[in-house]
Amino acid sequence: MQWRNTQHSYGVLAISLHWFLAVALFGTFLLGNWMVDLTYYDDWYHRAPELHKALGVLILGLMLLRLIWRWGNPKPLPLGKIAWQNRIAESVHHLFYWLVLGIGFSGYLISTAEGQGIDVFGLFTVPALDWHFELQADRAGLIHQILAWSFITLALLHLSAALKHHFIHRDRTLTRILKP
């Protein structure tokens, strides 16, 4: 089993982090959109936000692990032969990282706006900051929503590009992120 990336393929850890984060981010996005419409008397009114926050903390931690892994374990060489397309692909990946970090940080600011930490499945608590700013939850909430929708839009474009490479160009772009 190949743990590290090579010049031609991704390793098991990079592939696992990619797909786990993709599913977790999409699921947490759906949960977030669902929970904002819950009424006070709904059974999930309190549970859904707690789950959303805990998942967000885990996603942020895994994204940091993914960034550390990427810095110490370079990506495979690009398959594309057109330089500007390779630069766009690389830029999209960097934008994904910044969006996830921004979503996580804005979510943290929303969750801790009242001075309470974030409980992560009863395992540990992420403490709140000692300082707050005016309308913190509202301002961070707007940023969180914009970044989350931007992420989902970019992810759908990313998926479309991967499918285009697989079915039209018939290259290994998709298959090398599916198996080492």
**Residue 22: band (very low, low, confident or very high) from pLDDT cuts 50, 70, 90:** very high
Q: Which residues, in sequence order, are bridge partners of residue 125? A: 119
Q: Is 14 helix (H, G, I), strand (E, B) or coil?
A: helix
> Which segments of 37-78 does DSSP mark as H helices, in order?
47-72
**Dihedrals phi, psi of 9, to nearest 5 degrees:** -150, 160
What's the pLDDT score for residue 161?
93
- Name the more confident of 83 and 22: 22
**62: buried, middle or exposed (CB in 10 Å: 19+, 13-18, 0-12)?**
middle
Q: What residues does each domain of the chain span?
A: 12-177
Q: What does 85-123 look like in DSSP terms, one character per residue?
A: HHHHHHHHHHHHHHHHHHHHHHHHHHHTTTS--EEETTT
The DSSP secondary structure of 74-85, one letter per residue, reads: PPPPP--S-HHH
The yes-or-no verdict on residue 102 having pLDDT over 90 is: yes
pLDDT at 81: 81
pLDDT digits (tens, 9 = 90+) for 81-93: 889 989 999 999 9
Closest CA to 32 of 146, 157, 112: 146
| pLDDT computed for residue 79 by the predictor | 84
More reliable by pLDDT, 62 or 179: 62
Query: pTM for this structure?
Result: 0.93
Dist. CA 135–CA 4, nearest whole Å: 45
Please say if the pLDDT value at position 61 is more than 90: yes
How much is the pLDDT for 74? 86
* Mean pLDDT estimate for the chain: 95
Asked: is 12-177 a CATH 1.20.950 domain? The reply is yes
